[in-house]
Each structure stands twice: as C-alpha cells, then as structure tokens.
Amino acid sequence: MKEQSSIGVVPEPDGFRYDTVIKDGKPVHHGDYFSIRHPEMDHGRRAKIFAPFAALRGFEEEVASKETRYESKRDLDPDELYELNHKLNELYEATRNGKYSRQNPVRTSVEYYRVCEDPHNEAYGCKGEYITISGIVQRVDPEQQNLKIEDSVIPFSLIFRITAE
C-alpha cells in the first residue's frame, strides 16, 4: 500500500487504475475546441444552476412551521358566549331543512382555535392558533356539537367568533 493520498482519508490501493488522473487534477483548457464550446462559468452563474436543488426535502416547510406563533386558547366572557350561541342557533335554523338550505345557501366566516399538531414544536398539544375559514354552512349539528363549513368540521367548543357574510 502507498501512503495516504491528498484526496481524502481512504488510502489508495497499490496499482490503482486512476492514480494518474487523480494526481493530474482538473483538466486545463485554454483556447482549444472544448474551451470554445464550454467557456468557464463564474461562480454566481454556476450557483444558479444548482439553486433549485433541495438537498433536504421538507426543510423549508419545517423552518416555516417554526415561525408560526402559537398562543393559549382565549376564554369567552358570558356576553360573547351568549352572542356565539345566538349565531349558532340562527345558523341551525337556516340549515336544518336540507332542501331550503340548498336553495338558499348561508355563507359565513368562522374564527376558531386549532391546537398545534406538529410533534416537533414545543407548543404541540398545549397551544394553538386562531384560524378563520369562510364558506357555505353545510350543517349545524347540536347533538355532535359541531359545525360543518365546506369540508371542515369545527367543534362548538373551539369556535371563537362567527361573522355573517
């Protein structure tokens, strides 16, 4: 075996086929056919070629998820709770007859509390964020205690505010 080469920590075996290629290094082209067809590129332009390549899949999403500010759930005072129950009752009355509600769809915005579901975040399970969703009310279910808007089902206990559109 030879001494360890300068290319890394792996020693080169005796009789290595590409020993001369490694020792010669990068080929130099000055004025030949190759250098005319492939001019040397500055590092800035070369970096742009590889910019779309993401070495770590999902890294950008993970970083963005850490920027979300989570907070504790706010409690409603009795007046706000009364107003919310009143609006839920109005929505229930407007949507309990399926045929009537399909002919006269009710659009509304609901602000509700969504608990952090990212297990890698310190707020996981204990804090959350307030989300506003707008759309047509599909169903108000007093037995299941939830409200369905478009494809989202929101429990009554997580609703903070309802605004008619």
DSSP 32-61: SHHHHHS----HHHHHHHHTT--SSTTHHH
Strand 146-149 with 152-155, pairing = antiparallel
Query: Cα dihedral angle (16, 18, 19, 20), rounded to 10 degrees?
Result: 150
Dump pLDDT digits (tens) for 71-103.
888 898 999 999 999 999 988 888 878 777 777
The whole-number average pLDDT for the span 125-146 is: 90
Query: For residue 4, what pLDDT band results from cuts at 50, 70 and 90?
Result: very low
Residue type present at position 100: Y
Domain ranges of the chain: 19-53, 78-164
Question: What local confidence, expressed as pLDDT, does residue 6 receive?
Answer: 56
Distance CA 85, CA 7 (A): 73
